[in-house]
Amino acid sequence: MFEGLFENLPASVLWVPFVVVFVGAALQVATGVGLGLLATPAILFVLDGPAAVQVAIILNLTLTAFLLPLEIGYVAFSRLYAISIWACIGIPLGGFLLLAVGNTSLKLICGVVVIFAVLQLRFFPLPVLKSPVQLRWLNRMGGVVSGGMTGALAAPGPVALWALLSSGLETAAVRATLRAYFLFAYVVAFAVSILLVGSSTRVWMMSLALMPALIVGIGVGIAGRRTIGATAMRGLLELVLLAMGISMLVKGLSDAGGF
């Protein structure tokens, strides 16, 4: 069924998307973010930009659909609506950005975004905002920027997480609302991507090929959250993101002839 899917690809890169999707799914389940930031850069090793983003969206939608029913009772719908409405502006902008840059530039962008996400998660937590005016602007900026990252990189997590944490929600509500936002953002981003570039059999075959890694990663993430603890899993997330960000920068510079 997968005949021709990986032809002309060096054996040294074939393992990358499978391992990274497994790790990303486990970290997403345990910490709330991970798969979106990791999947697109990993799949860029074997597919071009628009196809890689579509595969990443399909994988993220599958994970979200699996987990959201378990958390739906904790969703803060007012915050969800406030961010989602502004994401509708950012997602098409991100889609057009994806079409405007080549694969090499996209790898460099991915590397920079992932490294900045690590720095944000580690060093720059926003203070909790209580002013209604501040919250409105936080929703606007969080929605537009995370929407743009969804359309361009299939990675809404860091900015949306930042915005929700700064709104003063409890941890369970943040995780559930983030999950519900992912469902909305990825559906809209996938529809925009189909309208802009269409889809292909290769996208669906790659998505199907990566499903076992995703499913095993979900199981490991659930077990890890219970046995290892959220703090240790967050530290692991930061290490993996840093390694992926550096790898994408090196790959992008190499493709550009930088060294």
pLDDT in tens, 105-115: 777 877 787 78
**Full-prediction pTM beyond 0.85?**
no
pLDDT > 90? residue 243? no
Higher pLDDT, 211 or 119: 211
Higher pLDDT, 204 or 142: 204
Q: 200 falls in which pLDDT band (50, 70, 90)?
A: confident
- With a CB cutoff of 8 Å and minimum separation 6, the contacts of 201 are none
pLDDT (average), residues 95-100: 86
pLDDT > 90? residue 244? no
Indicate the Cα dihedral angle 21, 27, 30, 35, nearest 10°.
-60
pLDDT > 90? residue 213? yes
**Most confident residue range from 50-54, 130-134, 233-237:** 50-54
Residues above pLDDT 90, as percent of the chain: 20
pLDDT (average), residues 142-155: 85
Higher pLDDT, 3 or 158: 158
Minimal CA–CA distance to 20: which of 247, 187, 230, 190?
247
Q: How far apart are CA 78 and CA 193, in angstroms?
A: 27
